Structure 1
């Protein structure tokens, strides 16, 4: 959304309010059956009712041009849509025929008012269409001016520019020499005697033409002798500076035309509902509409004349509008008003079919003349190098076909293995962990291993205690004592074994021969094994409690690699749109900087308002800022931001207040502009 849509909708609403305010104080009266419920009857002004078919045609065309219509979601409308709406109401053909015949048709006041409303809405849509074209023309000029800044700021870029434009210079020089020699050759008689002397005369004519070519080259060399005093880089620098100056002048003229059109065109913001105002005063909006039409036509005809300065352009525009007497009959008699309405329709048709296309074509020619070189000029050198080396590249590709196929195959296999092993498989394991799948549980050892080793230890200690009852009570063990030994073993108490081990250490040789020392030592080894398994079981439980974390850790490398690869491919495929998206908030900061610079460096008029040129430049920057902010701000925040934007572009508030609005935007919306 841009301020062009708001401009068109605001003017459209003002036209509806001004049109219907005429009937606000009129008593209700019968309405024609074919008219809509919102169409007021004017039977108190004319006894005959209006033509129902004509009213329906006008209402259909008005709905087609209305900014509040559901169908018109994209504003402003195209020139073809505007003309089709006028043809739908038969405004073009009807008014042209009546004007040619010299006997305009007597129209009912209701029909006449609807015709004025239709033409006014068409002019409002044309007003928005021209503003849209001026914005689209002015905004890209900044990039071309920046290109020439880059060329002028570096000798490397300047040399590169000279190499890029060398073929064009050679072609222009050769073309000039050829046409000069041809002109001289035709002036001396050319090949008139060729029919008389045959091939000999043709040979002499070609020799003569070749001599004229050499003379033209010598003359061109003498003419360029003064330019050769300067170095080639200085010549290219002068050319780049001249092109940049032309672009700056074109941008200033476009911005000035935009400012004049927004400030002075279709300015209908006044109270027209007062019942004490006279009829001429209440029809003042018709004069404003007609003058706006003349203003649009004059701007389109003079906007691309770069020889005019800014002040000369403004004087020319306002003088032409003041001297335009053809549209001054809007508040005269009915016949003169009908003729003026027909003239406005014809002028509007001329703007949409002639002046606007001519302006667009002229602007494109100037941008092509002063703007950055085309892609063919800038990239002919690498393209030529690629073309010349294409045979070598093709021969290398043919000779290494098997290796290239193998590389591609390996690349595909590696990519698929990476995808399945580092993305698909970790995701499958992660899903299994979330679902508590037993096959996906992390386990260092099984539960059965620990239980088996512990039971074996119990049996070893119990058998040892039975064989050596002296280590427990000195008498054979009963069931109660055996159960007590088994319970202590579960708790890790190996007292019977340790007592025997301590006694045998006093006589290790006897204990070894008897076997009790080795048996006690092996039981302690089994105990150590059980203790290690218990510790490992604790670690196993800890790993199981963090199994989901380990799953995400295993998935992270593959996801990061895929994300980086997808962003890289998106940046390549997205092109300039992707790069603009990466600029983000930095771009909006630069826009605020440009707005602040325009306001701070402007030369306000006596009433403290911006000039038309500065206002046009401000509108261009605000237009881009509003579109950029609308893509990142929440809807409720953006609605408040639009209020600040409206205050910023309001010329009547003065420069000082506009600067304060910029400061308020900078701190109030810093989250989206930092």
Structure 2
């Protein structure tokens, strides 16, 4: 998270640094033309060089050295009664150092506020995730149960000591507990608040829990009213017992809601301060551009930072600009960060420690693991049988449903020219036999010459048996005579042969039709196996690849964060209809911008137009010179340009992070 906030602040103040380049270039030219004999100038040059490398330094030492040098020069002139330096080189160096000090201090203040916003938002999202899920609430209650019991024991011990009562088992009776730790309606006892500390601040929420007065006030019992029937008493007691059983869950959920709201208030408070400070960039830029830039022109911006810090810290207001800057780098910034962390810890707003979250797994994990291993060992025979059967099923599926059908498809493709019903050679032999029979009849009875025989051969090849049919028509005029001594039988047998040839040709056509559909039937047979294999492989791939989030553009989870960040930006801009956005809106915008920039830096392809264009749009959103209407246009452009590419609509439809 620190990388993202530093990147955001660095981009935000980059424009200020560019505005300060003109005096820096003048300093560089002056130094190159003159000697470095003056020790004061050398110190200024050294300090300026150390500040020039820093946007947000990890240590305030360089900034403190620069301020101390400026203070020493100022005090020296006051003591000696000297006017400001008339040496143009030294004056330019002092102004350049003051420029960089102002930018660095401004950057540090932005960085601190943005980091606290991000921390509060991160913790708030964790509590929100716990609150949304009943299983997470129960798991959180289990995780924090030891610490709650320790607080309860400590409270019980302190109560006995306060009343000078020895600790024994008799004190655990309900009547003794009511006397020692009394409670009234909607005012839980100290024992309950030791288990759920948030009730100190939000005990009024207990009014939403039915029959809770029975748990806190023993005087309001059904037996105290003689007009109640047995059924009503039993129903009331059953409802009270049910409420009592549900009470830990409801109070735990209320605790998560309370902490989430507290963190949301802290985030909004820091966002307002962040926005107020971000809107000072324009004034600071104008101050740096002013030719007569001095400490007095810088004072309004410094006073804004001082006012923000003094709301939390115990720093004393100062009149002078340089002492205020020195106090920021020496104590104020550090105290501001420490008090923020101390407040979160004292109010227990941070998520539980890693050990607290892991102890159920560390304690319950080994016994469950040993029990599972033991059960598996005792059931090893049936497990081996199950493994063998699974292997046979898998092998049968792969061989009988996948490999064999695929081999059939390959065999069909390889042997597609072979006939199935009738062979090509058989059809050709029947055709040649018909041709010879027709030519022999024409040669014996029609006295055809060689040319006529060739013509008849072509006719037979074309399926035309007109000469043979004419001879048959003449023979059937006297069938008995033609059958005994004529050509009736020969013409009849030729027609039988012609019918056989026609049947062979029809079967050949059917064979070709079946052959053309054989691949279709083969693929239909193998399609179910391919469908099952595709679904299985896709599911395994989602488990192995999707679970690690190594999908395109960071995966669904990260793209969902982009979706919600852009949605929040648009919602803020729609609700804020003013020309210039408010301080809180500006701070929340900067917070969302930091999240979008983090996403782009981590998950978008490097050196790509996608990343470059996305970051350009994000930088437009954080530009304080743009009003609410212009920023809404930028958001619309981002939805139009990147919504489809990043699949934000699909993420919203799938309900990720609900």
Q: TM-score, normalised by structure 2?
A: 0.63
Q: 1:621 is matched with which residue: 587, 592, 608?
A: 592
Alpha-carbon contact 2:546-2:555 (below 8 Å) kept: no
Q: Secondary structure at the match of 2:285?
A: coil
Note closer, same or farther for the CA distance 1:392–1:568 as it changes in structure 2 (3 Å cut). Answer: closer
Tell whether 2:22 aligns with 1:20: yes
Note closer, same or farther for the CA distance 1:20–1:582 as it changes in structure 2 (3 Å cut). Answer: closer
Aligned to 1:210: 168
Aligned to 1:8: 10
* Alignment deviations for residues 62-101 of structure 1 (CA, whole Å, 9 cap, x no partner): 44225xxxxxxxxxx5625x65x669xx769999999999
Aligned to 1:65: 54
Tell me how far 1:581 sits from its aligned partner: 3.3
Q: Secondary structure at the match of 1:370?
A: coil
Aligned to 1:245: 261
Tell whether 2:574 aligns with 1:594: no
Tell me how far 1:270 sits from its aligned partner: 0.8
Aligned to 2:231: none
Aligned to 1:355: 335
Structure-to-structure mapping, 1:139-538, within 5 angstroms: 139-144=121-126, 146-147=128-129, 150=132, 167-181=146-160, 183=161, 209-210=167-168, 214=172, 218-219=176-177, 222-226=180-184, 227=188, 228-229=215-216, 232=244, 233=247, 235-236=251-252, 239-264=255-280, 267-270=283-286, 272-273=288-289, 278=292, 281-282=293-294, 287=299, 291=303, 294=306, 297-298=309-310, 301-302=312-313, 323-325=317-319, 327-328=320-321, 330=322, 340=323, 344=325, 347-350=328-331, 354-355=334-335, 358=338, 361-362=341-342, 365=345, 369-370=348-349, 389-405=368-384, 407-408=386-387, 441=414, 443=416, 445=418, 451-467=424-440, 469=441, 474-475=445-446, 480=451, 483-493=454-464, 521=496, 524-537=499-512
Tell me how far 1:487 sits from its aligned partner: 3.5
Tell me how far 1:398 sits from its aligned partner: 0.7
- How far apart, CA to CA, are the structure 2 residues paired with 1:618 and 1:375? 31
Q: 2:119 is matched with which residue: 134, 137, 140?
A: 137
Note closer, same or farther for the CA distance 1:172–1:483 as it changes in structure 2 (3 Å cut). Answer: farther
Tell me how far 1:268 sits from its aligned partner: 1.7
Note closer, same or farther for the CA distance 1:619–1:100 as it changes in structure 2 (3 Å cut). Answer: closer
Q: Secondary structure at the match of 1:174?
A: helix
Tell me how far 1:538 sits from its aligned partner: 6.5
- How far apart, CA to CA, are the structure 1 residues paired with 2:270 and 2:506? 88
Tell me how far 1:616 sits from its aligned partner: 2.0
Relative contact order, higher structure (CA 8 A, sep 6+): 2
* Alignment deviations for residues 595-614 of structure 1 (CA, whole Å, 9 cap, x no partner): 3443454597xxx6444333
Note closer, same or farther for the CA distance 1:649–1:271 as it changes in structure 2 (3 Å cut). Answer: same
* Alignment deviations for residues 553-575 of structure 1 (CA, whole Å, 9 cap, x no partner): 99777556433431243233339
Aligned to 2:98: 116
Tell me how far 1:465 sits from its aligned partner: 2.5
Note closer, same or farther for the CA distance 1:543–1:656 as it changes in structure 2 (3 Å cut). Answer: same
- How far apart, CA to CA, are the structure 1 residues paired with 2:624 and 2:400? 64
Q: Secondary structure at the match of 1:324?
A: coil
Q: TM-score, normalised by structure 1?
A: 0.62
Q: Secondary structure at the match of 1:247?
A: helix
* Alignment deviations for residues 125-181 of structure 1 (CA, whole Å, 9 cap, x no partner): 424532441342143244245347637xx8x98778767765553332223224555
- How far apart, CA to CA, are the structure 2 residues paired with 1:387 and 1:644? 51
Note closer, same or farther for the CA distance 1:65–1:244 as it changes in structure 2 (3 Å cut). Answer: closer
Question: What is the RMSD computed on CA atoms of the aligned residues?
Answer: 6.2
- How far apart, CA to CA, are the structure 2 residues paired with 1:499 and 1:52? 131
Aligned to 1:40: 30
Alpha-carbon contact 2:120-2:267 (below 8 Å) kept: yes
Note closer, same or farther for the CA distance 1:134–1:158 as it changes in structure 2 (3 Å cut). Answer: closer
* Alignment deviations for residues 647-667 of structure 1 (CA, whole Å, 9 cap, x no partner): 655556655665666567667
- How far apart, CA to CA, are the structure 2 residues paired with 1:166 and 1:47? 69
Q: Secondary structure at the match of 1:139?
A: helix
Range with bigger deviation, 222-231 or 550-559: 550-559
Note closer, same or farther for the CA distance 1:224–1:241 as it changes in structure 2 (3 Å cut). Answer: farther
* Alignment deviations for residues 324-370 of structure 1 (CA, whole Å, 9 cap, x no partner): 23x43x4xxxxxxxxx5xx8467425467x43652564365268x23
Note closer, same or farther for the CA distance 1:222–1:134 as it changes in structure 2 (3 Å cut). Answer: same
Alpha-carbon contact 1:602-1:610 (below 8 Å) kept: yes
- How far apart, CA to CA, are the structure 2 residues paired with 1:40 and 1:417? 87
- How far apart, CA to CA, are the structure 2 residues paired with 1:175 and 1:145? 26
- How far apart, CA to CA, are the structure 2 residues paired with 1:47 and 1:547? 91
Q: Where does structure 1 lack aligned partners over 5 or more consecutive residues?
A: 25-30, 32-37, 67-76, 189-207, 303-315, 331-339
- How far apart, CA to CA, are the structure 1 residues paired with 2:376 and 2:558? 42
